[in-house]
């Protein structure tokens, strides 16, 4: 029988408390590989979020029909089917972006976060909660991809939203923002070592914020003034 959960708490867990890229640290291979720009990160993030939502919903709908012995192969089959459909859609509507992301689109199937949410959450909760969990987990991962892509693109090229046409077509032709004119280029930020450094900075910033908030919440109350 499904456990009742608060949809608000599900959103908070996926977006912040159990963020896939900043807390759980799953799916780091594509996260570090494709985030040289915001658009690359956003494209992979949206594909991952769509996969999480569709697979979570599918698993939740058939959870009562799956025997324990075959649940993991069934989850993998569902995820692979969803990723294949997304791959075909990207080839049809965003082929240039698909070529940039390359192997990392089909590799979404092997993302431990997706099969983990199917096993830990979707197989034990109702479809609406599973769908919200997929959205929140995917949105948290997508946000991390976009932030890391922005950090690397600004420091490496001095621009933001470069090559937006890969994702948005003609509507993205003239949306590139040049934040640092005549930027000489910082190769380290664009290369894989820059991804490790950037992700470390984002994790450190989140941990600092959480620690600062916990210190404020745990601040001792003032001692009562003794009566004269």
- Contacts for 79 with CB less than 8 Å, ≥ 6 apart: 51, 55, 108, 109, 114, 115, 118
Q: What share of the chain is helix, strand, coil (3-state, %, to 5)?
A: 75, 0, 25
Q: What is the tens place of the pLDDT at every residue in 86-115? A: 999 999 999 999 999 989 999 999 999 999
The pLDDT value given to residue 5: 83
**What is the rounded average pLDDT of the residues 127-144?**
97
pLDDT band at 3 (very low <50, low <70, confident <90, very high): low
Instruction: Tally Cβ neighbours within 10 Å of residue 205.
Output: 12
Q: What is the tens place of the pLDDT at every residue in 186-227? A: 999 999 899 999 999 999 999 999 999 999 887 665 555 555
Residue 59 has pLDDT above 50, yes or no: yes
For 150-155, which contacts have Cβ atoms below 8 Å and span 24 or more sequence positions? 150/38, 150/41, 151/189, 151/198, 151/201, 151/202, 152/35, 152/36, 152/37, 152/189, 152/190, 152/194, 152/195, 152/198, 153/36, 153/37, 153/38, 154/179, 154/180, 155/186, 155/189, 155/194, 155/198
Residue 155 has pLDDT above 50, yes or no: yes
Residue 10 has pLDDT above 50, yes or no: yes
Residue 46 has pLDDT above 70, yes or no: yes
**What is the rounded average pLDDT of the residues 135-146?**
97
Q: Is there a contact between 62 and 149 (Cβ–Cβ < 8 Å)?
A: no
For the chain, the average pLDDT equals 92
Residue 53 has pLDDT above 80, yes or no: yes
**What is the rounded average pLDDT of the residues 78-87?**
97
């Amino acid at each position: 029988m499904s456990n009742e959960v608060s949809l608000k708490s599900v959103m908070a867990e996926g977006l912040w408390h159990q963020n896939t890229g900043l807390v759980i640290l799953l799916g780091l291979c594509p996260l570090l590989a494709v985030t040289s720009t915001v658009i690359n990160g956003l494209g992979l993030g949206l594909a991952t979020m769509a996969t999480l939502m569709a697979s979570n919903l599918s698993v939740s709908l058939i959870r009562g029909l799956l025997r324990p012995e075959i649940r993991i192969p069934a989850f993998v089959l569902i995820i692979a089917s969803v990723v294949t459909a997304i791959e075909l859609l990207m080839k049809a509507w965003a082929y240039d972006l698909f070529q940039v992301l390359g192997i990392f689109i089909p590799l979404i199937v092997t993302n431990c976060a997706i099969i983990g949410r199917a096993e830990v959450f979707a197989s034990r909760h109702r479809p609406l909660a599973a769908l919200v969990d997929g959205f929140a987990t995917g949105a948290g991962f997508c946000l991390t991809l976009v932030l890391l892509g922005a950090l690397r693109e600004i420091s490496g090229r001095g621009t933001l939203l470069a090559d937006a046409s890969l994702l948005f077509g003609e509507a993205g032709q003239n949306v590139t923002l040049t934040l640092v004119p005549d930027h000489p280029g910082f190769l380290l930020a664009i290369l894989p070592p820059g991804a490790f450094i950037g992700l470390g900075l984002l994790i450190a910033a989140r941990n600092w914020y959480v620690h600062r908030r916990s210190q404020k919440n745990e601040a001792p109350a003032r001692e009562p003034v003794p009566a004269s």
